[in-house]
Structure 1
Amino acid sequence: MATTVDLTRASRDTISSLRTAIDQSAVASRRISTGQRVNDAFEDPASFFTAQSLTNQASELDRTLDQLGQGVQIVKAASEGISSIDELLDAAKAVVNRAGQSDDAFARADFAKSFNDLLDQMEGVAKDSSYRGKNLLLGEGHDLKLYFSDEARDAIVIAARDLSDVGRTLGLERIDEGTIGVAETKLAPGGTPLAATDPAANASDQFAIGDTVEIRRQSDGALLSSVTIGADTTVSSLASSLSNADAGVRASYGADGVLRIEAAVGVTIDGGVAGGSFDGTSIDATPSGWFDADATTAEAEGVQSARDTLRLISVAFGTNLTMLQNRETFMKEFSGTLVTGAETTIGADLNEEGANLLALQIRQQFSSSALSFANEADQGVLRLLGG
């Protein structure tokens, strides 16, 4: 048979107070350990769900920020590519200017090749300006669309520009580099090469005193250079007289005894001993697009126009980049505001909770002491009754 123990009112009150203090201490301890005043919906439904809503919104912003951050890097890659292309355009302008100032058709052909190489580099930079597979310098089909929220209407589209084809976008076309033709003959009577200072007439199988050697352009017969062989005409002076670099003819004589005539345009050579190497000789060549120095004027204007176009593109990307960075900064700050709001809504005041816990611990001690006193009083009564 179960025994029922009746407690005095004082004991019951003390035990109830002790239980309350223990429960409240547990709550305070949990708040201190989690840093939150509300840890589940049962404690404060309104605050709990408000904080949860703010936290979810901040999480959505963080996901959008990740995507936006990648977009910023894509635009930066394109902007850096444009800066490199702009530097190459500066180099191209210098090449055009030097070609226009040159009085050597062969040098102008070399400059044309350098100009074309720079165009290749520009297109190469455009193709390499990719970030994680996205390249805004490849034109159609490579636009960048970024969302500022989960709502599809809140978005921006950054149009790609095709700089992988500088002819189409910047109006820069490659220059015909042309081809160089060469004719050679060895001045070595008796098998011994003439020295550069020897009379040209010593090569009797090629030249005789009084012979006139002429070089004419094939297309219109224009005389480009000529020399009449005299007794004092040396091999060196012969080569010098036949040279007219601005018109596309260059002659040289080497230590090996070879007289070499190069042409940057198709020419015919007449003169010298009948049946000699230069009697009715033709040199086939294709003039470069800059064979005439005046041809570089239009190209200089084209390069300047290309720079103007490129800088407009650069301004557009720069504006987009600034806008994205500003939006990114705002979203980071706003996300922080949402997180702070959530923490404020359910966050615990650790100083207050610490003070409460200390007070509750003291209260527990007092309640335990009071219960002990009550028990001693009851035992004293029992001793009196038993005595």
Structure 2
Amino acid sequence: MSGVSLTAATRQNLLSLQDTASLSSTTQNRLSTGKKVSSALDNPVNFFTAQSLSNRSSDLGTLLDSISNGVQTIQAANQGLTSIQKLVDSAKSTANQALATQITTRGTAKNQYSVSASSTTINLEVNGTAATATIPASGTIDAAITALNTAVNTKGAGNAFSKDSTGTKIVLNGSADIEFSAAADQTNLGFTSGVANSGPQYGAVSTVGQSSDLTVTGVKERAALAKQYNSLLTQIDQLAKDASFNGTNLLSSSAATNKLHIAFNEKDTSNLDVQGVDATSGGLLLTQITGNSGASSNGQGNFLIDDDVKTTLTSLTNASSTLRSQASTFGSNLSVVQNRQDFTKNLQNVLDTGASKLTDADLNEEAANSQALSTRQSLGISALSLANTAQQGILQLLR
């Protein structure tokens, strides 16, 4: 066998060109990929460290989605509380309006009072509460008025009965809904008998409507306000039911057993549980005004009793305090979650930056290297040509 014999200078230049080509290939690869460590073969320590950092960054990115959902769920609950507070304020305004609406019964008997030879019992209802007046035998109109006033005064209606200017007819002027339990109770005092089961009737005893001689004001108005109040409670229940996000509701009637769990790290060793609250009317201890006309002995269904309205106002005030407390708790939880959300975003950026510094190439440096290697390659080729000059001279002699 025979081989090609090269001079030492030629061989040295060929090796130099091969090294330059290898470095140029490496530089071109870094420029095209942007990575100085693209596989474990390049730098095992940097490659696997960067991979670990990138994996954790990816895990945190998944957690950020969950944290973001948590933020929106709490915000939905907080917005629900704000809107429910407005409804409670409206209900309070309705109750105050009912309290300010005066209930009165006014009128003068059509007929003169007739003295009875025997004792007469008059059964009345004051704001739906039964009252009894006993007029003594042969009692004058003054005696009748005294007995009637004694009966209604104990029910909070004051001295509602008096007599007209002629002194022969009974006058009723009371700050309450005063009704008679039976037709005879009206006619015995000179009032026209009311029609059975008609007109204002809120007690459990009355079987006759109000006399046409009497006018009741404020009852229907309070009844309408009671209906409006009940409607607002229904709206509170509906709003609490709708204050959900992604299937999670922190304000519903089952919120006491429903909580939002938010994980802040990959192993869930750092987390927050946001406990739900019952912001429905029942959870706020607000009850519908029941016992409408004829169904309640005190007429509560129509805000007939001032004390009942005041009790309702107290419940509404307590409900407002509860809502403010709940909103404060949700606000505190929201602040924590948003802070952790910002922290996780920044930590993810730190991890990605750290991974990049371990594997990314400096493109400015690699571009400069590429230019230098190109020049070096040109010089190497020129040097190889010079190394072969002596052999070219021998070739000229052989010609």
- Whether the TM-score (by the shorter chain) exceeds 0.5 is yes
1:345 and 2:358 equivalent? yes
Query: What is the CA distance between 1:180 and its match in structure 2?
Result: 7.9
Please give the TM-score of this superposition, normalised by the length of structure 1. Answer: 0.69
Q: 1:25-44 residue pairs with structure 2 within 5 A?
A: 25-44=24-43
- Secondary structure, in 3 states, of the residue corresponding to 1:137? coil
Please tell me the root mean square deviation across aligned C-alpha atoms, in Å: 2.0
Equivalent residue number for residue 236 of structure 1: none
Equivalent residue number for residue 244 of structure 1: none
Equivalent residue number for residue 241 of structure 2: 127
For residues 80-104 of structure 1, what are the alpha-carbon distances to aligned partners after superposition, in whole Å with 9 as ceiling and x for unaligned?
1111101111111111111110111
**Contact 2:279-2:323 at 8 Å conserved across structures:** no
1:50 and 2:164 equivalent? no
| Structure 2 CA distance for aligned equivalents of residues 33 and 116 of structure 1 | 72
1:61 and 2:67 equivalent? no
- Secondary structure, in 3 states, of the residue corresponding to 1:31? helix
For residues 180-208 of structure 1, what are the alpha-carbon distances to aligned partners after superposition, in whole Å with 9 as ceiling and x for unaligned?
89xxxxxxxxxxxxxxxxxxxxxxxxxxx
Letter in 1 for 2:314: E
1:142 and 2:258 equivalent? yes
Equivalent residue number for residue 318 of structure 1: 331
- Secondary structure, in 3 states, of the residue corresponding to 2:244? coil
- Secondary structure, in 3 states, of the residue corresponding to 2:249? coil
Query: What is the CA distance between 1:141 and its match in structure 2?
Result: 3.5
**Contact 1:40-1:48 at 8 Å conserved across structures:** yes
| Structure 2 CA distance for aligned equivalents of residues 108 and 176 of structure 1 | 13
Equivalent residue number for residue 16 of structure 1: 15
Query: What is the CA distance between 1:107 and its match in structure 2?
Result: 1.0
**Contact 1:54-1:339 at 8 Å conserved across structures:** yes
**222, 226, 230: which one pairs with 1:108?**
222
**Contact 2:289-2:300 at 8 Å conserved across structures:** no
Query: What is the CA distance between 1:179 and its match in structure 2?
Result: 3.0
1:154 and 2:270 equivalent? yes
**Contact 2:24-2:373 at 8 Å conserved across structures:** yes
Letter in 2 for 1:160: G
**Contact 1:92-1:115 at 8 Å conserved across structures:** yes
| Structure 1 CA distance for aligned equivalents of residues 382 and 316 of structure 2 | 96
**Contact 1:289-1:295 at 8 Å conserved across structures:** no
| Structure 1 CA distance for aligned equivalents of residues 248 and 11 of structure 2 | 75
Query: What is the CA distance between 1:3 and its match in structure 2?
Result: 4.6
**Contact 1:89-1:307 at 8 Å conserved across structures:** yes
**Contact 2:225-2:302 at 8 Å conserved across structures:** no
For residues 92-144 of structure 1, what are the alpha-carbon distances to aligned partners after superposition, in whole Å with 9 as ceiling and x for unaligned?
11111111101112111111111111111111011111111111112134211
**Contact 1:109-1:177 at 8 Å conserved across structures:** no
**Contact 2:293-2:302 at 8 Å conserved across structures:** no
**294, 311, 319: which one pairs with 1:306?**
319
Query: What is the CA distance between 1:150 and its match in structure 2?
Result: 1.9
Please give the TM-score of this superposition, normalised by the length of structure 2. Answer: 0.67
For residues 223-279 of structure 1, what are the alpha-carbon distances to aligned partners after superposition, in whole Å with 9 as ceiling and x for unaligned?
xxxxxxxxxxxxxxxxxxxxxxxxxxxxxxxxxxxxxxxxxx9xxxxxxxxxxxxxx
| Structure 2 CA distance for aligned equivalents of residues 10 and 330 of structure 1 | 62
| Structure 2 CA distance for aligned equivalents of residues 18 and 355 of structure 1 | 18
Q: Which moved more, 1:286-295 or 1:61-70?
A: 286-295
Letter in 2 for 1:360: L
| Structure 1 CA distance for aligned equivalents of residues 301 and 256 of structure 2 | 34
- Secondary structure, in 3 states, of the residue corresponding to 2:262? strand
| Structure 1 CA distance for aligned equivalents of residues 230 and 72 of structure 2 | 31
Say how many residue pairs are matched. 282
Equivalent residue number for residue 88 of structure 1: 87
For residues 315-344 of structure 1, what are the alpha-carbon distances to aligned partners after superposition, in whole Å with 9 as ceiling and x for unaligned?
111111111001000000110011011111
Letter in 2 for 1:176: T
For residues 2-45 of structure 1, what are the alpha-carbon distances to aligned partners after superposition, in whole Å with 9 as ceiling and x for unaligned?
65211111111111111111111111111122222211111111
| Structure 1 CA distance for aligned equivalents of residues 2 and 249 of structure 2 | 87
| Structure 2 CA distance for aligned equivalents of residues 311 and 339 of structure 1 | 42
**Contact 1:102-1:293 at 8 Å conserved across structures:** no
Letter in 2 for 1:124: Q
**Contact 2:53-2:354 at 8 Å conserved across structures:** yes
Gaps of 5+ in 2: 103-217
Equivalent residue number for residue 273 of structure 1: none
Gaps of 5+ in 1: 182-217, 220-264, 266-285
Q: Which moved more, 1:323-332 or 1:50-59?
A: 50-59
Q: 1:1-387 residue pairs with structure 2 within 5 A?
A: 3-103=2-102, 104-138=218-252, 139-164=255-280, 166-167=281-282, 169-176=283-290, 178-179=292-293, 288-384=301-397, 386-387=398-399
| Structure 2 CA distance for aligned equivalents of residues 291 and 132 of structure 1 | 44
Query: What is the CA distance between 1:304 and its match in structure 2?
Result: 0.7
**Contact 1:100-1:294 at 8 Å conserved across structures:** no
**Contact 1:179-1:287 at 8 Å conserved across structures:** no
